[in-house]
């Protein structure tokens, strides 16, 4: 059985490297133009080249998003941008617009093209149409049930690859084709500038009765009527693998390094555990619990078991659930001294209990026995983000590991 691809988001170069360190087979990222995440840092051409070199040295892949739905003025600039991309060894382009598809196919006839979820791929005939046009892969809409995905997989087998989302934010609008942001604040979601208007707080008021709100709110904070929960299909991974899908995709190019590392590490282990012994596979509850340690909204299975009802929404608030703080990155393991070199992200105190997230491993806890600052002095705390410090601890820690800390934990740093 050919192993399914684990595809991770990369909002910048650091997140790209983090995703690969923690087990992603491929990443998708955006350039400075023609993508759908204007709020992400995105990649210059020079950064793309560095990211591609990093990936290919590790036998990994990088796909670039070119999935904006451009207007005429943007389309005029596209040929020059494609010419620049020709100089890079990209593994594929993610495209939604037929005009963009045609231009890319003309200028880059050998590049693999993946049809974006923005193209509303919800049936097997659509997928086969794109196969006839020469697309390598179709990314399915998130509004599909398991039974629909199963039928598509059967109809499309050996004709075109299929990719599905397994984790991350859900869009209230069909496959992300949304006009709400454009209408309210003149920011076009289909051109990469969504204001996430669906996450705002709304009240219902009758036109002739300004100030008189209908009692639809769940509490005094109001009602978040478009606020979808986040997708989490960790328990459904075996079923999806058995369909013969080519790629399982994580959403989140604008999320943190901690998010990228935790989610990729979790799904990497779930996928590997399944392949090791498919017949006797059982979900690992410790791994499933990892996905509650990142910043997230309440989870949902989305459309997997059918159209979601009220349980697919969170009406009380659009804020994230955050139970852990990201404390630092382990830059080097000083094995001979039981010390680690750490780049600080949040204030670390002597005596803290820190949880370690290491590639390919379940998380575990270490104690901060002492801290040596960048001047070589022992200190009680390291308060400065990006500062390099040495932490004394009783266990060796892999280079590249992340350190996090449960909020409100009762130790010296509480």
HEC profile of 237-258: HHHHHHCCCCEEEECCCCCCHH
Residue 186: the pLDDT is: 74
Query: 388 lies in a domain?
Result: yes
Residue 348 and residue 300 share a domain: no
> What is the CATH number for 340?
2.40.30.10
Of the residues 266, 286, 312, the one at which a domain ends? 312
Residue 180: the pLDDT is 66
Whether 338 is covered by a domain: the verdict is yes
- Residues 307, 338: one domain? no
Residue 305 and residue 341 in one domain: no
Q: Is the residue at 24 inside a domain? A: yes
Same domain, 306 and 329: no
- Provide the pLDDT for residue 228: 75
* CA–CA dist 271, 3 (Å, integer): 9
Tokens of 185: 């604040």
Domain assignment present for 318: no
pLDDT for 414: 45
Q: Which residues pair with 177 in a beta bridge?
A: none
Residues 200, 195: Cα–Cα separation, whole Å: 10
The per-residue DSSP string of 159-227 comes to TSEEEEEEEE---SSGGG---HHHHHHS--GGGT----GGGS-B--B-TTSTT-B-S--SBTTBB-TT-
Q: What is the pLDDT of residue 37?
A: 52
In a shared domain, residues 353 and 290: no
Asked if residue 209 is part of any domain, the answer here is: no
* Pair 79, 157 in one domain: yes
Residues 165 and 56 in one domain: yes
Q: Comparing C-alpha atoms, which of 95, 115, 224, 101 is closest to residue 161?
A: 115
Are residues 249 and 328 located together in one domain of the fold? no
Task: Give the per-residue pLDDT at 408.
Answer: 73
Query: And the tokens for 278?
Result: 């498919």
- Report how far apart, in Å, the C-alpha atoms of 95 and of each of 48, 61, 98 are: 18, 17, 8
How far is residue 217's CA from residue 345's CA, in Å, rounded to a whole number? 38
CA distance linking residue 331 with residue 342, whole number of Å: 6
Q: Is residue 267 domain-shared with residue 369, that is, in the same domain?
A: no
Residue 207 maps to a domain? no
Instruction: Tell me the CATH number at 234.
Output: 3.20.20.70
Residue 287 lies in a domain: yes
Q: What is the pTM of this model?
A: 0.85
Are residues 256 and 400 located together in one domain of the fold? no
Domain of residue 14: give its range: 5-173+227-312
Tell whether 333 and 362 lie within a shared domain.
yes
| 18 and 115 within one domain | yes
267, 289, 312 — which closes off a domain?
A: 312
Q: Which of 23, 25, 22, 28 is nearest to 10 (CA)?
A: 28
Residues 376, 288: Cα–Cα separation, whole Å: 40
CA count, 13 A, side-chain hemisphere, 74:
15
Per residue of the chain (414 residues), give pLDDT as tens: 689 999 999 999 999 999 999 999 999 999 887 655 555 557 999 999 999 999 999 999 999 999 888 889 888 889 999 999 999 999 999 999 999 999 999 999 999 999 999 898 999 999 999 999 999 999 999 989 999 999 999 999 999 999 999 999 877 665 665 666 665 677 766 556 777 776 677 666 777 777 776 555 454 444 566 677 889 999 999 999 999 999 999 998 889 999 999 999 999 999 999 999 999 999 999 999 999 999 877 888 988 998 877 666 665 666 667 889 999 999 998 877 789 999 999 999 999 999 999 999 999 999 999 999 999 999 999 999 999 999 998 888 999 999 999 987 655 554
In a domain, 412, yes or no: no
Total tally of structural domains belonging to the chain: 2
Q: Which of these three, 312, 335, 354, is where a domain ends?
A: 312
Q: How far apart are CA 248 and CA 267, in angstroms?
A: 9
């Amino acid at each position: 059985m050919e192993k399914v691809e684990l595809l991770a988001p990369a909002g910048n170069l650091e997140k790209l490297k983090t995703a690969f360190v923690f087990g992603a087979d491929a990443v998708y990222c955006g350039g400075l133009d023609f993508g759908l995440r204007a709020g992400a840092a995105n990649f210059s051409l020079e950064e793309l080249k560095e990211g591609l070199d990093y990936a290919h040295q590790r036998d990994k892949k990088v796909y670039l998003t070119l999935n904006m739905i451009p207007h005429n003025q943007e389309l005029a600039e596209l040929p020059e941008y494609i010419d620049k991309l020709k100089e890079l060894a990209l593994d594929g382009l993610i495209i939604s617009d037929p005009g963009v598809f045609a231009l890319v196919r003309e200028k880059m006839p050998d590049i693999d093209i993946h049809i974006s979820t923005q193209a509303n791929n919800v049936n097997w005939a659509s997928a086969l149409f794109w196969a006839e046009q020469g697309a390598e892969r179709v990314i399915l809409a998130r509004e599909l049930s398991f039974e629909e995905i199963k039928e598509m997989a059967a109809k499309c087998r050996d004709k075109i690859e299929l990719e599905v989302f397994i984790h991350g934010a859900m869009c209230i609008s069909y496959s992300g084709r949304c006009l709400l942001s454009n209408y309210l604040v003149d920011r076009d979601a289909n051109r990469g500038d969504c204001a996430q208007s669906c996450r705002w707080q709304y009240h219902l008021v009758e036109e002739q009765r300004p100030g008189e709100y209908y009692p639809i709110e769940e509490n005094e904070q109001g009602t978040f009527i478009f606020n979808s929960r986040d997708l989490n299909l960790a328990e459904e991974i075996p079923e999806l693998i058995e369909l013969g899908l080519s790629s399982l995709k994580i959403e989140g190019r604008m999320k943190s390094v901690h998010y990228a590392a935790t989610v990729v590490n979790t799904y990497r282990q779930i996928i590997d555990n399944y392949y090791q012994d498919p017949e006797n596979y059982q979900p690992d509850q410790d791994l499933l619990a990892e996905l509650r340690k990142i910043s997230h909204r309440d989870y949902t299975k989305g459309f997997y078991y059918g159209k979601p009802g009220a349980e697919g929404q969170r009406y009380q608030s659009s804020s994230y659930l955050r139970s852990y703080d990201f404390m630092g990155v382990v830059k080097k393991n000083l094995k001979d001294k039981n010390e680690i070199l750490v780049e600080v992200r949040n204030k670390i105190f002597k005596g803290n209990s820190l949880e370690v997230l290491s590639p390919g491993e379940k998380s575990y806890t270490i104690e901060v026995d002492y801290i040596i600052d960048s001047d070589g002095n022992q200190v009680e705390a390291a308060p400065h983000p990006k500062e390099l410090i040495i932490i004394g601890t009783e266990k060796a820690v892999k280079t590249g590991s992340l350190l996090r800390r449960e909020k409100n934990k009762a130790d010296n740093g509480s």
